[in-house]
Amino acid sequence: MNKKIMALLTGTLFSAQLLFALPGDIDSQLAKLPAYTGPGLEVTVTPTSTDFMLWSPQAEAVKLMLYPTDRNSAPTSTIDMRKSANGTWTVSLPGQLYGQFYTFTVKYNGKWLDPTPGVWAKALGTNGERAAIIDFANTNPKGWESDKGPKVAAITDAVIYEMHHRDFSVHPSSGIVNKGKFLALTEQGTVTPLGDKTGIDHLKELGVTHVHILPSFDYNSVDESNLPSNQYNWGYDPVNYNAPEGSYSTNPADPEARVREMKEMVKALHDAGIGVIMDVVYNHTAQNDDSNFSLTAPGYYYRHRADGSYSDASACGNETASEREQMRDFIKKSIAWWADEYHIDGFRFDLMAVLDCDTVNAIRAELDKLYPYIMMYGEGWSGGSCALESSRLCYKWNCRAFPQVGVFNDNFRDAVKGATFDVYQRGYVCGNTDLTNIIKRGLAGSVSHPDILGNDEAAWAQSPTQTINYCEAHDNWTMWDKIFISANDYSQEEKIAADKLSAALILLAQGIPFFQLGEDFLRSKPKFFEQEPTAVHEMFEDNSYNSPDYTNAIRWGEKVRNIDVFKYVRGLIELRREAALFRMGSADEIRAKLHFLPTNDLGVIEMKLEDDCDCFIVAFNPYREEKWVELPEGVFFVRYSEKGKQHEFPMNQNPVKIPPISAVVFERYGRELYECKNNIRHFENRLGLHTLI
């Protein structure tokens, strides 16, 4: 996340009542409140009753209100709840109250706080103002019982594609009916007016293993009661963590619809062999004193500064306190709920460094119990300084403390692309050879490696399973815009070559490759401007969190215009998925099987990947002229080049030519290789040749 929300919220003072109630060290006082980590929070429907439970340890009284509709109706009944163990309040009502809506209100310091659906609402009406009592069994699509996501033995086998629901489908060229909805991902056979695949068929065609959906829990910034107003937001402003966002359903007022439609989306992707990763934002809430956390347990879920104000490591007005027992349990159970009820295959933690390592490890342990193939990764940074010792937090440099969780590799990103916050700095792909060493680090999975000189900070990973390799995500410039801005003197052909080189670096590096929707066909985020720009970068948007569709929508027609780039990326994904040497699972394996060979030019990288069966040489040339590299002993053929898939033997050439701004993958042919495969048809097919064996 990146400065996307709300300067408006920053600096809000914490409520005066709490300061009065809890003088001294606020956070240590709050941490002493009794926690309840058992079952039954919020609402449980039994065959004969509907039981409510709210954790509200500072409350003087709590009332439950029932309503016939999701909004604009008076309560049909208001019921006093009874103080129970460990800070909970309970009430049991006769009968199954399916179809009704409810809120709680808490009396605190003599005052009744605003009604809240609680923090554990799993079904919601419009704008998440009231919670709903539904039967989840009614929300399951056909075949849901046997639905399972793809088994990914090692996270490095994944190829992740990040997308926003509205970007994906809203443009007319998508051919998708349910624009901006969960159901967009269930539509098969959609095409552009020229017949190119869009939607889920595009995902299948590209060959990605997982889609990563931007926040899809209930968030604040889109008014669900006024969807035609055409608002847009990434959704990094959480309101209700445990129910889907209403604007992505076909009817936000229908609590079952949003649950069912999100499950239908998951089912359709699973049927296509694609896993679903959810972007989750436990580091802060959209509101401060008015959040559901504050309205049930004032102050408890947040960290504070010494003066009682909200600490703000999210740069969005507050930061949550994952280390506090009730909050830790909340996050852990919330993740487990999504994994279990919605069959989610992975979680991406926004500003993960606001969360403490113990919590993240507890989530990992919980998911391992549920389904060990579920992935976890996040941003190993925060948006400001935290009110907790940094040694306890999930910063990238602490990754030794959370070994089974990945983090985004900003070192590799900025070396491929050029500095994120220095827009005119060129990346390696645009000839900045000062960055060559960091590129090598990235190619070697950012683990320490004897072939790379120095012990720089770019060798931070304990294992390639910890590095998410990317050069483009929703934040910051798209790769194509960054090339356009920083290398404006390049010809169109050279710019495209630089873009393809970026894809080769990400997909041929050890670690977990990650792409943004449309990156495979030169996605741009054009800015809507009224006055002629005075600098190139003013033509593009680098923080499009609330930009109009004009900036964010995928123009699917670009796919056919840039079909060469699309095919190039698709071919690399295929190569990566075929050859295990491109996705090794440990640092030791990388140190044993990956080596860098000496080259004549500072910026030219020659990487050798070799095991008992295979040997690949990958050469990267960031220069605007052709370069030459020496191949080792053996007979090599060109497996992949700027032209895409190839089976060309350069047997009579050594050194071999690497075209300007390109990557070339060579594979060694040999009798031992053939014997090792023990599968003649396999090898013949790969070569596309039959006469050699």
Residues near Ca ion (CB under 5 A) are 218, 246
How far separated are the first and last CA of the chain, in Å rounded? 53
What is the full DSSP assignment across 624-637? SS-EEE---SSEEE
Output 218 or 261, the one with its CB closest to Ca ion: 218
Output 255 or 406, the one with its CB closest to Ca ion: 255
Output 218 or 264, the one with its CB closest to Ca ion: 218
Which residues, 6+ apart, have CB-to-CB distance to 640 below 8 Å?
571, 572, 575, 646, 663, 664, 665
CB of 278 to Ca ion, least distance (A): 15
CB of 245 to Ca ion, least distance (A): 5
Contact 468, 406 (CB under 8 A): yes
Which residue, 256, 44, 48, 46, is CA-closest to 138?
256
Tokens of 482: 């960054």
350 is catalytic: yes
Contact 261, 140 (CB under 8 A): no
Question: Which residue number is nearest to Ca ion in terms of Cβ?
Answer: 218
What is the full DSSP assignment across 79-115? EE-EE-GGGEEEEEEES--TT-EEEEEEEETTEEPPP
3-state secondary structure of 371: coil
Contact 128, 477 (CB under 8 A): no
Output 178 or 221, the one with its CB closest to Ca ion: 221
Contact 626, 656 (CB under 8 A): no
Output 288 or 467, the one with its CB closest to Ca ion: 288
CB of 252 to Ca ion, least distance (A): 7
The whole-angstrom separation of Cα 238 and Cα 379 is 17
- Kindly name the residue from 350, 472, 589, 642 that is annotated as catalytic: 350
Which residue, 64, 24, 27, 29, is CA-closest to 43?
64
The whole-angstrom separation of Cα 36 and Cα 479 is 47
The whole-angstrom separation of Cα 216 and Cα 184 is 14
CB of 209 to Ca ion, least distance (A): 29
Tell me how many helices (H) and strands (E) the chain has: 18, 27
The whole-angstrom separation of Cα 107 and Cα 129 is 19
Which residue, 165, 168, 163, 164, is CA-closest to 199?
168
CB of 240 to Ca ion, least distance (A): 8
Q: Which residues of 148-167 are buried (b: 16+ CB within 10 A; e: fewer)?
A: ebbebeebbbbbbbbbbbbb
CB of 128 to Ca ion, least distance (A): 5
Segment holding 163, helix H or strand E: strand 160-163
CB of 222 to Ca ion, least distance (A): 6
**Burial of 598 (C-beta count, 10 Å sphere; 0-12/13-18/19+):** exposed
CB of 232 to Ca ion, least distance (A): 13
CB of 247 to Ca ion, least distance (A): 6
Output 196 or 224, the one with its CB closest to Ca ion: 224
**Sheet holding 605-610: strands in order across?**
594-597, 605-610, 615-621, 662-669, 635-641, 644-648
**SS in 3 state form for 458-482?**
CCCCCCHHHEEECCCCCCCCCHHHH
**ω into 172 cis (within 30 of 0):** no
Output 218 or 606, the one with its CB closest to Ca ion: 218
Residues annotated catalytic, as ranges: 350, 379
